[in-house]
Structure 1
Amino acid sequence: MLMQQTLSQLRNLKLDGMARAFEEQAALTASTSLSFEDRFGMVVERELAWRDTRRLERLMKAARLKNPQACIEDIDVRQSRGLDQRVVATLASCDWIRNAQNIILSGPTGAGKTWIACAFAQQACRQGFSALYVRAARLFEELRIAHGDGSFTRRLAQLAKIDVLLLDDWGLQELDQGARNDLLEVIDDRVGSRSTIITSQLPLEHWHAWLQDPTLADAILDRLVHQAHRLPIKGDSMRKTNAKQSDSSPS
């Protein structure tokens, strides 16, 4: 009876990890040989691990990554891809987020930019940072609609709180004046406080022309590129490579 009451109290306190560990210890005769301090320490460790797992699940769900399975340990750093293993290892520490720096991934279609970007975002979630994946075109459309329904200011505030904003497929479509203004608002809110990851087929030297408005282009690129780690990716399309490997594998 006392055990059930304790379990109920632990769950009411939202200490689910401790509750599970307490149940497990009660069922294991081996745990009776441990001291109270050891058993209690194990229960506390289980609660911490439980909270870490739940926090990661929440962060990953909110991030809506296109490739949620991508992880930094699996990034292909072959020399032919142009990725520096030391740079990837440095970025894995997530100090770039703590220092409010950005990452710019550029390269041809299918080179794996989005997958690598998702791996960096996933690593951010694993270290307790919030992240959000969004295709650039969808973000501009979302903000256009927000102007119409009066939610623009609130949405800007939400985006400004996200530790890592991943903008995918940057530079694929032309921007109108409204979209350029909105982009400046989003980027300006993040300067010095939050980090942004951008993937683009468009080489960095063409971004100014893509933005079309010289004044806005200067303002956006100054805020975005100045504190950025640039990762140009080389090589053939990973989709084609994977398809060839699948075709050549035995059935």
Structure 2
Amino acid sequence: MLMQQTLSQLRNLKLDGMARAFEEQAALTASTSLSFEDRFGMVVERELAWRDTRRLERLMKAARLKNPQACIEDIDVRQSRGLDQRVVATLASCDWIRNAQNIILSGPTGAGKTWIACAFAQQACRQGFSALYVRAARLFEELRIAHGDGSFTRRLAQLAKIDVLLLDDWGLQELDQGARNDLLEVIDDRVGSRSGSV
């Protein structure tokens, strides 16, 4: 009875990782040979791992990456692609985000720019940063509509809070004056909040 009560209390406290670890320890006879401190430490580690996993899932879902499976470890840095392995490794540290710097990926259609950008965004999410993937044309249309319905300022504030903003297919078409002004507002708000963008 005490175990069920403890499990219920852990779940009420939203300590689901601890609850699962506690259940597993109760089922394993090998864990009874461990000291209380060791067992408790394992339960706490499990809770931390559970929270990290949930945070990453939440960040990845919010990022809406076009290629969510893209990851830094899978970037092909062969000489023929023109990617410098040292630069990729340096960018993988995500210091560019901490230093409010930007990455601009350019190259021919089909070169894998979107996939690489998604890999950097996924790496950012793994390090606890927020990200959002959006095609530039869709963002400018969204901002144009936001002007009309009065939500423009609120949307700018939301974009400013995002650590990594991926603007895909930027430069495929000429921007009209309204889109140029909106882009300037997005950049200005993001610089003001010291966030990075891709």
TM range (shorter): over 0.9
Compute the RMSD of aligned alpha carbons. Answer: 5.9
Q: Contact 1:100–1:192 at 8 Å: present in 2 too? A: no
Q: What's the offset of the Cα at 1:191?
A: 1.7
Q: Which has the larger radius of gyration?
A: 1
User: What TM-score results when the alignment is normalised by the length of structure 1?
Assistant: 0.76
Cα deviation digits, residues 59-101 of structure 1 (max 9, x gap): 0000000000000000000111110000000000000000010
Equivalent residue, structure 1, for 2:20: 20
8 Å contact from structure 2 (residues 102, 196) kept in 1 = no
- Offset at 1:163? 0.4
CA offsets 1:180-215 (integer angstroms, 9 cap, x no match): 100000011112644xxxxxxxxxxxxxxxxxxxxx
Give the drift of 1:249: 41
In the TM superposition, residue 142 of structure 1 has moved relative to its aligned partner by 0.2
Aligned to 2:196: 249
The 1:88–1:249 alpha-carbon spacing in structure 2 relative to 1, beyond 3 Å, is closer
CA distance in 1, matches of 2:191, 2:114: 23
Identity of aligned residues (%): 98
| CA drift at 1:127 | 0.2
| Equivalent residues of 2:96, 2:196 under 8 A apart | no
Q: Is 1:77–1:85's contact at 8 Å kept on the other side of the alignment?
A: yes
1:130–1:163: 8 Å Cα contact kept in structure 2? Answer: yes
Q: How far did residue 157 of structure 1 move? A: 0.2
Other-structure match for 1:85: 85
Q: Give me the whole-angstrom Cα distance separating, in 2, the residues matched to 1:132 and 1:250.
A: 9
- Equivalents in 2 of 1:174, 1:89: separation in Å? 34
Aligned-partner SS, 1:103: coil
The structure-2 alpha-carbon separation of the partners of 1:179 and 1:123, relative to structure 1 and needing over 3 Å to count, comes to same
| SS of 1:128 mapped into structure 2 | coil
Distance between the aligned counterparts of 1:178 and 1:24, measured in 2? 58
Distance 1:157 1:98 in 2: 19
Runs of 4+ in 1 over 6 A off after TM superposition: 248-251
CA apart distance, 1:175: 1.3
Whole-angstrom CA distance in 1 between matches of 2:196 and 2:178: 50
In the alignment, the residues of structure 2 paired with residue 179 and residue 102 of structure 1 have an alpha-carbon distance, to the nearest angstrom, of: 20
Q: Distance in 2 between matches of 1:139 and 1:130?
A: 17
Identify the residue that residue 48 of structure 2 maps to in structure 1. Answer: 48
| 1:173 to partner: Cα distance | 1.3
Contact 2:103 2:197 in 1 (8 A): no
8 A contact 2:136–2:169 mirrored in 1: yes
1: CA distance between counterparts of 2:138 and 2:196?
Answer: 37
2: CA distance, partners of 1:123 / 1:147 = 33
Whole-angstrom distance in 2 between the partners of 1:249 and 1:177: 24
Q: Compute the displacement of 1:48 (Å).
A: 0.1
Structure 1 residue 130 and structure 2 residue 130: aligned? yes
Q: Which structure 2 residue ranges, 5 or more long, are not aligned? A: none
Unaligned residue ranges in structure 1 (runs of 5+): 195-247
2:4 corresponds to 1:7 = no
Quote the Cα distance in structure 1 between the aligned partners of 2:197 and 2:89. Answer: 35
Tell me: CA distance 1:110–1:249, structure 2 relative to 1, closer, same or farther (3 Å).
farther
Q: Offset of 1:4 from its aligned partner?
A: 0.3
Contact 1:67 1:118 in 2 (8 A): yes
Higher strand share: 1
SS of the residue corresponding to residue 165 of structure 1 reads strand
Residue 163 of structure 2: aligned partner: 163
